[in-house]
Every structure is written in C-alpha cells, then in structure tokens.
Structure 1
Amino acid sequence: MVMNKAPETDAMYDVAIAGGGYVGLSLALALKTGDAGLKVVVVDPKPMNVLDKDPRASAIAAAACRMLDSLGIWEQIRDGAQPINEMIVTDSKLRDVVRPVFLTFGAERKEGDESEPFAHMVPNGLMLPALYEKAQALGVDFEAPDTAASFATSGSGVRITLASGKALSAKLLVAADGVRSRLRDLAGIRTVHWDYGQSGIVTTVSHERPHNGRAEEHFLPAGPFAILPLPGNRSSLVWTERTEDAKRLVASDDFTFEIELERRFGHHLGKIELGGPRNAYPLGLTLARDFVRPRFALAGDAAHGIHPIAGQGLNMGFKDVAALAEVLVEAHRLGQDVGAMDVLERYQRWRRFDAFQMGVVTDVLNRLFSNDNDVLRAARDFGLGLVDRMPFLKSRFISEAAGLAGPAPRLLSGQSI
C-alpha cells in the first residue's frame, strides 16, 4: 500500500483499538478503569468532536446499564435516558384492524429488595460523548480522524500503519470496526454470512399521547416493527421491510412515508409526526468463525452482526467488552502478555458460543415471524400465549432481555474488575 508520507516513529501501547463507537470507547474505558497502568489508544475515522451529533438512540439492557455505572458514566446519562417499563408483542397481518397482544413483559425485573427496568433507551448523542470524555480523562490516547490501514504481527507485538502514514505498535490490536470489518479480512478470519433481503428503517417520531415507557414489537409479514420509547412524547422506530420496499420508502416524500408509517404504527398514541431523519440499513447474519488470532481480537459487530429482532446486537457488543476487559486486565495484573494467544483464547471461549447461539436464535425468530403463513402464525401465536401464561418462562425471557441470565463478566453485574 502506497502512503502519502513515510511512517513516523512508532508510538508504543498495550492495546490499540480500531473503532471509536460504543464498543471501542467502552472497551478503552473499561481497560483504563480496571488497570490505570495499561496504555490504550483508539483509532477512528471520524473526529471525536462530532459524537453528540448522532440523532439515533439505542436500547441498553439492564446488565449493560450496570456496566456503564461501574465505568462511572451512568449518572451522567441516566436523566436523559428513558426506562422501558413494559413491552408488548403482537402478531398480525398489515391489513388487520385489531392487533391482539400475545405477550406482555411486566414493568420491572426484581431481585431481592431491588428493582430495575430491564432496559433503557439512551440517546446516542448522550452516551458516546460521555464515554469519550471519561476515557480521555483517564488517559486513553486517540488517533482521530484516522484509520488502521494495515497491520503486521510478530512474536512480541503488532505494528499498525494508519492511513495518515503514522505507525503504532501494540501488544494487541482489537478490531471494533463494524460488521464489514476490513481488519477482520486482513487477519484472514472467515465468516458465516447471509443476507435476509431485508433492511431496517430507523427514524424518530413524535406523538400526541404519552407512551408511559411502553415498548411495542409488532410482528408483520415483512418483518418486525418496533416502537421504542424516548423521553417525552417521542419514540424511536426500527421498521423492518423487504430491501426494495425499504429503499422506496426512504426515498419517498414525507407525506407518502407518513401514510405507510401510520398503517403500521396505528392511532393509539394519537397523531404522529416525523421527528428526525430516516435511514435504511441492510440486515443479515454475520458470524466470525474465530474471534482471535495472534495479537488480534474481534469485538462487537466485527465479531457478530445479527438481526435486530431481539434488540441484542449492541448489548452483545457490551458483553464482548466486559469479557475482554476482564481477561486483559487480569492478565496484565499477573504480568502476562495481553496479546498472547493463551490469554486471548480465554476471551474466545467466553464469547464465541454465546454469539453463535444468539445468532441462531435471531435467525430462527426472523424466519418464523417474517412471513404471511397462516399455519406458522397460529403455531407461533400459541407459543407466545403459552409463554405469557407461564411466570417461570416469562421471567426467563425477561432475564435474557436484561442480559442477566447465566454467568456474566463482573462489569455486567455492576462490579469492578
């Protein structure tokens, strides 16, 4: 690769992270919070001073909220977040006048004397700057805007060449550069991938009546239509359509878009109006066959891109962060090499099976619900109704949604590493 200028003298780090989104920033913060002696750098193609311009919002499960609290930023963003106090699930055809509710999740998940919502909707414009500012305050270095263009590993480390011509050296390179990760390809890690022929339309609406913290998931023949509550009389939408229809809708004028939106949204919250830009993102399943290579690890969407039907994509990335940070911090405390393969294998054993399992679950759910087959509809509606009538099963579903089922890294339990 031809560079514009000769590489400068390498800067030396323990961990270099390619990607300054949620996963990259929270990993940098978790590492420095766990062990201030770790030298960490984040490389990202966008400047860090535009993070507050992101108009979208994300569903953050209870376990991830506990992690953000442990990292010292939850207090800063909590007042701007919207608790999800209830969730309903319907299954109908688009032309149906009535959408019967088959499954309802109660307001709170209780443990002993404590109670907490199983998720919050957090505006990206709040969370990303909070992560960046805290990481910067703890001594994380940033190379932005810049891109990790290539890298070469050796027995003692990895040398990363940036698009600007600068070079960095680290014991470990973590690729948190998204589902189309170029670094994953450069590392020779193959993926399991298929396209669903669907796209997710993401936008924000305002409405006359309050949502009272209720989220709604409407299963329609083209795919799920999710209404997620935001602060005030506003909601975030994740609207799944066949890709050709999604492109047509996004390109249409506001009047046409709002007519189609109203058919799916309904009138229970009164008059609705568009409250932000609309964008469509192609949906597919991408699972990395390996999460690690010598001196190299994947995290977030670079390791697993799944369908948003269960709302677990970002929360899986936070699980990666909690597991990888715990493994690396403990290794560093013991004087071990954080980029050594035996250290990285601990992370892979912790996260790869869970990611594959969630990928299979979301794939099956999408295929089961994104169709207009009356026999399948009858079977799945019976199953939803059965879960709704069985407290044990419902509690299990809520725990899974909250990210609190099974053994978890310490950060996801609200503990420090």
Structure 2
Amino acid sequence: MAKRKSAADMFDVVIAGGGYVGLSLAVALKQGDESISCAIVDPKPMDQLHNDPRASAIAAAASRMLTQLGVWPKIEAESQPINEMIVTDSKLRDAVRPVFLTFDGEATEGEPFAHMMPNGVMMPALYKAAKKLGVKFFAPGTADTFRTHPDQVELELADGTVLKSRLLVAADGVRSKLRDLAGIRTVNWDYGQSGIVTTVKHERPHNGRAEEHFLPAGPFAILPLPGNRSSLVWTEKTSDADRLVRSDEFTFELELERRFGHHLGTLEVDGPRRAYPLGLKLARDFVNPRFALIGDAAHGIHPIAGQGLNLGFKDVAALAEVVVDARRLGQDPGGLDILERYQRWRRFDTFQMGVVTDVLNRLFSNDNDVLRAFRDFGLGLVDRMPGIKTQFIKEAAGFAGPVPKLLSGEPI
C-alpha cells in the first residue's frame, strides 16, 4: 500500500482531467478570480498534448469563450471556418445523393457558426495559458480515490500523494472513475456503432463546406480543415468499423471513396484511422457535496450533431461563473447549494441534447424506405422555412437557452 503524502497547499479547486474541458475550466477560474488556487491531475504528461492528430468542431459561442480566455487568436490562425453545410440522405449504392437541407455558416454577420480546429493546436494553447496563470499540474498523475469531509475533499493519487481542496471536479472522460466512486448513476446504452475518425487530403478545395451524408449504417460527416484537407467522422456498425480500421490501405480507401464521392477529386488518407464505440451516457446527477462533473464525465452523446465538445465548454462556462460568483460573495465554492446552481443550469440542456441526438441517430441510421420518405420530406420542409433554419443555426452555434457570460463573449 502506497504511503500517503500530502501536497503542501490546500487548493480551492482540483480538476481530475487535463483535456480541453479541464484545462479551459482552470483558465476560466483563474481569469475570473486570480486568487483561486487550482490544480490539474492527468495521467498523461502535459508535453504530449501536441501529439493528438484529431480535429474538433468549435461552435461560435465556444470560440467567444476561448477569446476571453486569451487563446483564440492562436487557434483561429490554424483553424478553418465552416462557411456552409449540406445534408443528404441516400443509400450507399445510389448514384446521386440529393441535397435536402443547406445552411449558410454565419451565427451573426461575419461570424461563422463553427470552426474546425486541429486538436494539436488547441491543447498546447490552453496548457500554456494555464501555466502562465499559475495552475499547478500533477501530470503524470492518476486519481485513485477520494474522501469527502464537511469542509474539504481529499483526492489520493496512485503514488500516494493526497491533494486537499474545497471542490473536486471530475473531467476524466466518459468512463469517469471518479463519477463511479462518487456513486453517481448514469443512463446509458450502446448503439452498436463505432465512429471511424481520420483525415484525408483531396485534390479540389472544399471552400469551407461541411457535409453530413446520412447512410443506412449511420452518418458520414466531412468536415473542412485548412488547405485541401478534411476531417472525417464515419459511422458504421462496430464489427464493420473494426474490420475497416484493420484493413489494408487499398481496401480502406476504396470503401472511403464509395462514401465520400468524387466531387473533391482524388483522395488520400492523411493520418491514423481509429474507431471509437458510440453510445449514450448521461449522469443522473452532475454534483455531490464538494464534487462536480463536467464534459464527457457528465455526458457522452452521439456525434451526429457535432455538439459533444461544445457541451463540455458550456459546462466550463457555467461552473466557472458559479464558482467565481460564490467566491466574490464570500461563499464556499464547494458547498452543495452553490453546485446546485450549476446543475440546474446544465442538466436539462444536456439531457435535451442527448435525447435529440438519440432520436436523430435512430431515425437516420437505418434502411427503412418508409422512414426515409418521412425524414426526407421533413428535411425538405425545414429547408424552405428560414425561421426554423435560423433557430437550428443558433442551436449549433451554442446560443440557445440561458447562455453563461463567457459564451456570450463577456468576462465573468
């Protein structure tokens, strides 16, 4: 049994998880109130952050928050604005894929509703900002267990180090160990699908257009990156996805071309291919005394709407605002009454998005001709109703519902 060794200081907030959500929460807290002491625990060394080959869709509201956090200029310089989005619905063997729904890409005039951004750019930018603000890092460091007391929580790491804080935040992913240790139950099920993620080069420019092709096995999303490159989120049955990821390069590119099409010319895979199992997992509660869930630890949803990371950024903006406001009023930021404000702000919105993505996936990931006729009629109807399309853009941009200050581009 490892010997317990306590860290020298009591922290106001300890965050378990040094990904996008954990890092951005630390930066938001320190910018909101520089006297807040904050630590991050992550099992991976922080100097490996630039090695992530994936890309993420950042909604306009999240980009406003990242601007307030001082990291957006660096990120924007290497990101690709989404200027347009089209939606098709067809069978894989169909020679023509009719476009049923189109969106222009502006949330407000001159502001794209989303950007595609390489993860290897965003993570180091957030890490540098956190270091500059004095966030303490325990990385590599693995959270092992924790104990909650009336006035503090003790997080014990695998090496025996004990960190004490007023509030422990679990940002440790969809398989959150701390969520399970806290006894917080989840609503969850497996879709029997996996998302293949990779990057491709293509001969012709995409002009900032994103495409979502609904195919019987699931959505096939083409998301523009800087240059003649696109990020793919390719949904298949899990057994087929595993087979495709393990296949040789010729077979993979042949299957890719069948789904991608020829409108952007010759294709070439330009990065590793990985498959991630897809399911729905929603925490029944987001808080306990001196404990809060954010990001994928609180909610894992289907990527069909591209909102997973943006939901995490909403959590960050809401929790940071609640904690900073409590500090300014001389209240205990780990008190359950304070954390309940965060839960009321975020839980309904998250459950609503979980239901929407679940229904969309079930409606579109099938080969039923009756359902296809019904959904195509609905898509065509929406395409002819500017008011509804505007509301969809507002939702995709992250501006629907009560919006925390950071997501509106305001400081806390």
Give the shorter-chain TM-score range: over 0.9
Partner of 1:152: 147
AA partner of residue 56 (structure 2)? S
Give the C-alpha shift of residue 99 in structure 1.
0.2
Are residues 1:51 and 2:46 paired?
A: no
Partner of 1:68: 66
Match of 1:84 among 82, 85, 91: 82
Partner of 2:300: 305
Partner of 1:263: 258
AA partner of residue 315 (structure 1)? N
Match of 1:316 among 301, 311, 314: 311
Give the C-alpha shift of residue 7 in structure 1.
2.1
Partner of 1:231: 226
* Structure 2 Cα separation of the partners of residues 102 and 330 of structure 1: 46
Instruction: Give the share of equivalent positions with the same residue, in percent.
Output: 75
Tell me if structure 1 keeps the 8 A contact 2:4–2:162: no
Tell me if structure 2 keeps the 8 A contact 1:216–1:227: yes
Match of 1:16 among 11, 14, 23: 14
Partner of 2:107: 109
Tell me if structure 2 keeps the 8 A contact 1:10–1:167: no
Partner of 2:244: 249
Match of 2:92 among 77, 94, 97: 94
Q: Secondary structure at the match of 1:25?
A: helix
Give the C-alpha shift of residue 109 in structure 1.
2.7
* Structure 2 Cα separation of the partners of residues 281 and 294 of structure 1: 33
* Structure 1 Cα separation of the partners of residues 83 and 189 of structure 2: 34
Match of 2:401 among 398, 403, 406: 406
* Structure 1 Cα separation of the partners of residues 352 and 178 of structure 2: 24
Q: How many residues align?
A: 412
Superposed CA offset, 1:281-307 (max 9, x none): 000000000000011000000000000
* Structure 2 Cα separation of the partners of residues 187 and 240 of structure 1: 33
AA partner of residue 150 (structure 1)? T
* Structure 1 Cα separation of the partners of residues 115 and 127 of structure 2: 20
Are residues 1:198 and 2:207 paired?
A: no
* Structure 2 Cα separation of the partners of residues 415 and 340 of structure 1: 26
Q: Secondary structure at the match of 2:334?
A: coil
* Structure 2 Cα separation of the partners of residues 10 and 296 of structure 1: 21
Partner of 2:267: 272
Give the C-alpha shift of residue 8 in structure 1.
3.5
* Structure 2 Cα separation of the partners of residues 76 and 107 of structure 1: 21
Superposed CA offset, 1:135-167 (max 9, x none): 110111100000111000000010010112111
Are residues 1:335 and 2:333 paired?
A: no
Give the C-alpha shift of residue 191 in structure 1.
0.3
Tell me if structure 1 keeps the 8 A contact 2:214–2:364: yes
* Structure 1 Cα separation of the partners of residues 309 and 224 of structure 2: 17
Give the C-alpha shift of residue 406 in structure 1.
2.4
Superposed CA offset, 1:145-195 (max 9, x none): 001110000000100101121110000000000000000000000000000
Give the C-alpha shift of residue 371 in structure 1.
0.1
Tell me if structure 2 keeps the 8 A contact 1:16–1:172: yes
Q: Secondary structure at the match of 1:127?
A: helix
* Structure 1 Cα separation of the partners of residues 74 and 272 of structure 2: 26
Are residues 1:295 and 2:290 paired?
A: yes
Superposed CA offset, 1:65-87 (max 9, x none): 00000111101111100000000
* Structure 2 Cα separation of the partners of residues 6 and 60 of structure 1: 41
Give the C-alpha shift of residue 9 in structure 1.
4.6
Superposed CA offset, 1:43-65 (max 9, x none): 00000001011111100000000
CA separation of 1:94/1:9 partners in 2, compared to 1, >3 Å: closer, same or farther? Answer: closer
Listed as ranges, the gaps of 5+ residues in structure 2 are none
Are residues 1:376 and 2:376 paired?
A: no
* Structure 2 Cα separation of the partners of residues 157 and 220 of structure 1: 51
* Structure 2 Cα separation of the partners of residues 20 and 287 of structure 1: 21
* Structure 2 Cα separation of the partners of residues 280 and 89 of structure 1: 23
* Structure 2 Cα separation of the partners of residues 12 and 400 of structure 1: 40
Give the C-alpha shift of residue 117 in structure 1.
0.4
* Structure 2 Cα separation of the partners of residues 136 and 168 of structure 1: 18
Match of 2:347 among 348, 352, 361: 352
Tell me if structure 1 keeps the 8 A contact 2:60–2:107: no
Tell me if structure 2 keeps the 8 A contact 1:10–1:169: no
Tell me if structure 1 keeps the 8 A contact 2:187–2:280: yes
Give the C-alpha shift of residue 115 in structure 1.
2.3
Superposed CA offset, 1:321-358 (max 9, x none): 00000000000111100000000000000000000000
Listed as ranges, the gaps of 5+ residues in structure 1 are none
TM-score, normalised with respect to structure 2? 0.99
* Structure 1 Cα separation of the partners of residues 190 and 42 of structure 2: 27
* Structure 2 Cα separation of the partners of residues 57 and 363 of structure 1: 23
AA partner of residue 279 (structure 1)? R
AA partner of residue 170 (structure 1)? S
* Structure 1 Cα separation of the partners of residues 36 and 402 of structure 2: 26
Partner of 2:215: 220
